[in-house]
Amino acid sequence: MLNSDFYGGIVMIAFSALFWSQLEEFTPFGIMFPKVIIELLAILGIVMLVKSKFKPQYIESFVKEINKPMVGTMILSVMWVVLANYIGFFVISVASMWAIQWLLTAERNLKNSMISLAVSLISVCLIYFIFTKYLYIFFPKGLLF
């Protein structure tokens, strides 16, 4: 049995530290909201650590429930993050989205593969268009696009 409060508190504090280390690129007014959220996350992590000592909540280990599609999805997601700057957001997003859909599909055939590719293309095009044209958020450009 795992003490979920203890591990949750550790994860929250670790993410707070990670986010805090990335704060140098903000304007003085732009940094106010992220600082408050990160500080709240750290405080809640500490509260969870304290709670784990006085009133712990135990859960069964979930590691035995991890299966091949879950591991494949995690690997593809990490590859997407790592390769986005090299290959480019658009190409790597379509490829990884299609690969995850293919991996999670029960019946793998040409028809389902083409449907997954179409869904990936349409989704990424829509996200790319909305973010670049209306929100002025630009994605990494790589070798391919």
CA distance 50 to 53: 5
Q: What pLDDT shows up at residue 116?
A: 93
Neighbours of 9 (CB within 10 A): 21
Residues 6+ apart with CB under 8 A from 38: 16, 19, 20, 23
Q: What pLDDT shows up at residue 70?
A: 82
**54 and 22 within one domain:** yes
Collapsing DSSP states into helix, strand and coil, what is residue 108? Answer: coil
Q: What residues make up the domain containing 51?
A: 2-63
Q: Which of 57, 56, 104 is nearest to 76 (CA)?
A: 104
**130 and 75 within one domain:** yes
**70 and 22 within one domain:** no
**40 and 25 within one domain:** yes
pTM: 0.59
Residue after which a domain boundary falls, among 17, 43, 63: 63
Number of domains in the chain: 2
Query: Which parts of the chain have pLDDT scores under 50?
Result: none
Q: What pLDDT shows up at residue 50?
A: 94
- What does pLDDT average to over the chain? 87
**124 and 80 within one domain:** yes
Q: What pLDDT shows up at residue 139?
A: 83
Residue at 86 is within a domain: yes
Residues 6+ apart with CB under 8 A from 104: 69, 73
Neighbours of 90 (CB within 10 A): 20
